[in-house]
Amino acid sequence: IRMEAWYEEDESRSKREKRMVFFIVAIALIVFAACVTLSLVVGILTSFDEIVYEDPVDPPFYQSITQSALNNHLQQFETIAAQYSNSRSVNNGYNASVEYVKSQLQNNTNYNVYQQHFTITEMIYSSSSLQQVSPVVQNYEEGSDYSIIENSPSGSVDNVPVFPIDASGCFISHFDGFIAGRVALIQESNLCLLEIAVANAEQSGAVLVLVHSDIKSSKPYSGELSSTTSNNIPVLGINYLLGTDLSSALEPNISATVVGEEQTSYTSNLIAETASGSSDSIIIIGSHLDSVPAGPGINDNGSGSAVNLELAIQTYQQALALENQIRFAWWGAEELGLLGSEFYVNSLTPQEKSKIRVNLNYDMLASSNYIRGVYNGSQADPPITKSCTKIAQIYEEFFLDQNLKYQFTPFNGRSDYGPFLEANITAGGLKTGSNGMKTVAERTSFGGLAQAIYDPCYHQACDTLENVNQEILMENAQAAANILQVLASQADLNSYLAE
């Protein structure tokens, strides 16, 4: 009996202990479930609070620019050139290029799109010749040995000595010791506009100017004078080998002729203005749309024009908030001496000029042997030195954020920002190089080939889509989109640029 009582008591105690364990586990599970539920509720409320009270983070505007869109525009420019003697110059495919850009703007934006017409005068050449007559007799071929500089005056020289100038001719002092009545042989340079060097040569008594390419290339120097130039003597570009021969020869004499006449024609700028943003504070984004007669100009300057067009389209498509009005411009006749942008700036009244806060210029953004160049705003003259420097810093900061190397390039007015600088309007922009030669240091920074031309197809028939460096095109397009957004969002753009 005692043993049975003990087993009954032990079994009862075991049941009580099991119930206690079960109770404790149940309580623990209930507490755990309550904590999980509370955590979820808090998370949901927090998320709801973020949705209701915090703005969503939009992707940056520059990500709206796509490679495919840019290439589509470039392909259209190339197709147009193919229909007009492989050129989009003012007398070939330029007007068709204008119509393409205009149709894109009208179909994809609500902008005020209009053309600004103007007349141009350019030289049309019928013949030329160049011969060395002593100490050896040698006939030279146009296109391979020499080329007529665009807008060179007509003229001729017969059996005239060549006087080599071991400099660019950008300063009158470069012609110290020059003998009047001779041919001036000067070196290619980016230090000044060519008409300045030619004017110095003419003032020193030169009867003809030869511009010696500084590139070890078989192609002659191809530059241009402004169609409004006051130069009166013929100007020819010669290749590196011919320039070296004439510089080293013992008193070489040459004969040359340039025969041409002026032709007046009509062209236009294309302008598109945003419907929003203050019309008292205007940002002008410009690129020249024309090419030279010799080629389709897909890098020069289909690249800048395509970027400008896509910026305009995406500004509208992305409903970018604009405190300042954007005026997109495609300039005509840049290749004849910045004529379109010059006409535009000169047509502005003082009041209209005062409303323009900044001009951004995009010219040759995709050279195959590129540098990643930012115009050096600190080289601008007062009173816009500080604001031009600010523009350069915005590009600089973007490239630094993207871990991309860049370099500052001369701000010498040799593209369509030039007329704006002359009017004391803040300016800036990007470039990748034209007919200059890449240095060893630049090759270290940007890759490519040292001692080779930035754009080997500059002003040539091979400046096609295949000549475009896709990587630098996209990077520059995104840098252009970034600065557009930065500037367009400033409530007081003048004060921002003065910081």
Task: Give the residue numbers annotated as catalytic, written as ranges.
Answer: 334
Alpha-carbon distances of 293 from 9, 222, 326, 334, 475, rounded to whole Å: 113, 12, 31, 12, 29
Give CA torsion, residues 132, 136, 137, 138, to 10 deg. -60
User: Which of 425, 403, 404 lies closest to 413, judged by CA?
Assistant: 425
Tell me the C-alpha distance between 226 and 150, whole Å.
8
Beta carbons within 10 angstroms of residue 419's beta carbon: 21
User: Which of 366, 368, 369, 317 lies closest to 479, judged by CA?
Assistant: 366
Three-state secondary structure along 155-216?
EEEEEEEEEECCCCCCCHHHHCCCCCCCEEEEECCCCCCHHHHHHHHHHCCCCEEEEECCCC
Tell me the C-alpha distance between 77 and 468, whole Å.
13
User: Using alpha carbons only, what angle is made at residue 95 by residues 89 and 96, rounded to the nearest 5 degrees?
Assistant: 105
Tell me the C-alpha distance between 393 and 95, whole Å.
36
3-state secondary structure (DSSP) of residue 222: coil
Tell me the C-alpha distance between 304 and 293, whole Å.
18
Asked if residue 383 has a cis previous peptide bond (ω within 30° of 0), the answer is yes
Tell me the C-alpha distance between 188 and 154, whole Å.
21
Segments in 323-363 forming alpha helices (H):
339-347, 350-355
Tell me the C-alpha distance between 108 and 489, whole Å.
22
